[in-house]
C-alpha cells in the first residue's frame, strides 16, 4: 500500500569544477532544471544553488551546484566560505554527501592553471578518504575528435598531476555526452554509494577546527602567498624600469609603467586583504547558511507531512475502491480511481505507487 512506502531524505550530490566546465548544464539535464549557464569566462553560479528534487529509478536526488575557485565576481576566500558553510550546516542536519562530481572540459588543450587550481582545492575539501565517492566527469566531447579526446583522457587518467590520484583511491572517470540520459546514467553510479563526510566536514564539525585550520584553507593560503610573491616581484621590476625611463626622460613610458604599477599594487592589496579575512567571511556565510538551512529543513518537513497525508488518503480510497468493484458501483469505482490519480499527481515529487485494480 502507499502508506507503507518509506519517505527518505534525498540523495545529496555536489558538483564542482572550473567556470564553464558544464556544471549547471549537467544539473539542468539531469533534473530538468533551469539554472543559469555560464560561458568559459564569466561565472553565472556565484552562490550555492540546489537543484529541484527529482527521481532516478525511484530514488530522490538533490544536486548542489557550486561556484568555481576562478569566480569572476567573488574572491576565493568567499567561495571557500560559502562551500564550507553549506557543507557543514547540511552535515549537522544529517545530510551527508553520497557523491561528488568534478567537471573537466576534454576540449581544453591542457589542464591549465585554473583547472589544476580548482582540482587541488577539490582534493583538499574531499580528503583521500572520500575520493572513492568521486566521479571525474569529462565534458565537451562534441568539440574534439574521438582520437584526440581519447588521447587527452588517457593522459588525465595516468598523470599524478591530474586525475590519477582519484582513480587510485577508488574513484572513476566518466564521459558526459550532453544528454539527459547520459547525465542520469552518471548519477546512477552514485545511487548505491555509502554516504560519507568529506575532509572539510570532519575537520570543522567532527574535530571542531576553525576554517583557517583546515587543509583547504592551507591550500588557499599557499596559493595566495604565491600570488603576493609574484606581484611583489613584478612591482619591484616595474619600479626599476620606471627609474630607467626617468633617466632617459621617457615620460610616456614612465606614465604607462606607473599605471601598471598602481594596478599591481591594488591587486596585491586585495589579495593580502583576502588572505586575512577568511574567518570573518566564514562567520558571515555561516549565519546566512544557518537561516537558509532552517527554511530548507522546514520545507522538507512540510513536504514529508503532505506526502504522508496524501498516502493515507490514497490508502483510504484504495480500500473504498476494493469494496466497490462490482458492476453496480461502476461509476463510483471510476470516481475513486480519478481521485487516487489526482492525489498521486499532486504529490511532490511523484513517488507514490498506485495499486492497479481492474
Q: What is the pLDDT of residues 172-226, one digit of tens each?
A: 999 999 999 999 999 999 999 999 999 999 999 999 999 989 999 998 888 877 8
Q: How far is it, in rounded angstroms, from Cα 79 to Cα 219? A: 13
Nearest by Cα to 107 from 158, 53, 145: 145
Q: Name the packing angle between helices 76-92 and 215-247 (round to 10°).
A: 170
Helical residues (DSSP H) of the chain, grouped into ranges = 23-31, 76-92, 113-126, 146-158, 164-168, 180-188, 199-201, 215-247, 251-276, 278-323, 330-346
Query: Could you tell me the three cell numbers for 244?
Result: 630607467
> 284-314 pLDDT, tens per residue?
888 888 777 777 777 777 777 777 787 787 7
Q: What is the CA radius of gyration of the chain?
A: 26
Q: How far is it, in rounded angstroms, from Cα 342 to Cα 239? A: 75
Query: Taking the mean position of all CA atoms in its chain, how far away is CA 349?
Result: 22
Round the average pLDDT of the chain to a whole number and report it. Answer: 81
> 51-107 pLDDT, tens per residue?
888 999 989 999 999 988 876 667 888 899 999 999 999 999 889 999 999 999 999
Q: 229 by DSSP, 3-state: which?
A: helix
Q: How far is it, in rounded angstroms, from Cα 323 to Cα 334? A: 13
Q: Can you give the pLDDT at residue 5?
A: 39
Query: Could you tell me the three cell numbers for 93?
Result: 542536519
For 101-128, give the DSSP string: EEEEETTSSS--HHHHHHHHHHHHHH-G
- Name the residue ranges covered by the structural domains of the chain: 9-209, 215-278, 297-346
Residue with cell 529509478: 57
What is the pTM for the complete model shown? 0.75
Domain range 9-209, its CATH number among 3.40.50.10320, 1.10.10.60, 2.60.40.10, 3.40.50.300:
3.40.50.300
Lowest pLDDT segment from 1-5, 65-69, 318-322: 1-5
- Regarding predicted confidence, which is higher, 42 or 189? 189
Q: How far is it, in rounded angstroms, from Cα 221 to Cα 225? A: 6
By the 8 A CB rule, do 153 and 207 touch? no
Q: How far is it, in rounded angstroms, from Cα 47 to Cα 87? A: 13
By the 8 A CB rule, do 50 and 64 touch? yes
Peptide bond into 294 cis (omega under 30): no
Give whole-number Cα distances, 340 to 72, 172, 258, in Å: 50, 43, 75
22: left (phi over 0), alpha (psi -120 to 50) or beta: left
Q: Can you give the pLDDT at residue 310?
A: 77
Residue with cell 490508502: 315
Q: Name the packing angle between helices 330-346 and 278-323 (round to 10°).
A: 170
Amino acid at each position: 500500500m502507499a502508506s507503507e512506502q518509506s519517505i527518505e531524505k534525498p540523495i545529496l550530490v555536489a558538483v564542482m569544477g572550473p567556470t564553464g566546465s558544464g556544471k549547471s548544464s549537467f544539473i539542468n539535464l539531469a533534473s530538468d532544471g533551469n539554472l543559469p549557464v555560464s560561458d568559459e569566462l564569466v561565472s553565472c553560479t556565484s552562490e550555492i544553488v540546489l537543484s529541484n528534487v527529482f527521481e532516478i529509478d525511484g530514488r530522490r536526488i538533490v544536486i548542489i551546484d557550486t561556484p568555481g575557485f576562478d569566480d569572476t565576481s567573488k574572491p576565493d576566500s568567499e567561495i571557500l566560505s560559502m562551500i564550507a558553510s553549506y557543507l557543514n550546516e547540511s552535515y549537522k542536519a544529517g545530510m551527508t554527501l553520497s557523491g561528488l562530481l568534478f567537471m573537466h572540459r576534454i576540449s581544453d588543450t591542457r589542464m591549465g592553471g585554473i583547472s589544476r587550481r580548482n582540482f587541488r582545492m577539490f582534493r583538499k575539501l574531499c580528503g583521500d578518504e572520500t575520493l572513492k565517492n568521486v566521479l571525474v566527469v569529462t565534458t565537451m566531447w562534441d568539440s574534439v575528435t574521438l582520437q584526440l579526446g581519447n588521447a587527452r583522457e588517457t593522459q588525465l587518467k595516468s598523470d599524478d598531476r591530474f586525475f590519477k590520484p582519484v582513480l587510485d583511491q577508488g574513484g572513476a572517470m566518466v564521459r558526459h555526452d550532453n544528454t539527459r540520459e547520459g547525465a542520469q546514467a552518471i548519477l546512477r553510479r552514485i545511487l548505491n554509494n555509502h554516504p560519507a563526510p568529506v575532509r572539510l566536514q570532519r575537520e570543522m564539525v567532527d574535530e571542531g577546527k576553525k576554517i583557517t585550520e583546515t587543509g583547504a584553507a592551507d591550500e588557499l593560503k599557499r596559493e595566495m602567498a604565491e600570488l603576493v610573491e609574484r606581484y611583489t616581484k613584478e612591482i619591484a621590476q616595474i619600479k626599476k624600469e620606471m627609474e630607467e625611463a626617468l633617466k632617459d626622460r621617457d615620460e610616456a613610458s614612465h606614465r604607462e609603467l606607473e599605471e601598471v604599477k598602481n594596478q599591481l599594487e591594488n591587486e596585491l592589496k586585495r589579495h593580502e586583504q583576502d588572505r586575512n579575512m577568511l574567518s570573518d567571511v566564514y562567520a558571515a556565510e555561516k549565519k546566512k547558511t544557518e537561516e537558509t538551512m532552517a527554511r530548507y529543513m522546514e520545507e522538507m518537513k512540510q513536504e514529508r507531512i503532505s506526502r504522508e497525508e496524501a498516502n493515507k488518503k490514497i490508502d483510504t480510497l484504495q480500500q473504498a475502491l476494493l469494496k466497490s468493484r462490482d458492476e453496480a458501483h461502476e461509476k463510483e469505482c471510476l470516481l475513486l480511481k480519478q481521485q487516487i490519480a489526482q492525489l498521486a499527481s499532486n504529490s511532490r515529487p511523484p513517488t507514490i505507487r498506485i495499486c492497479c485494480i481492474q
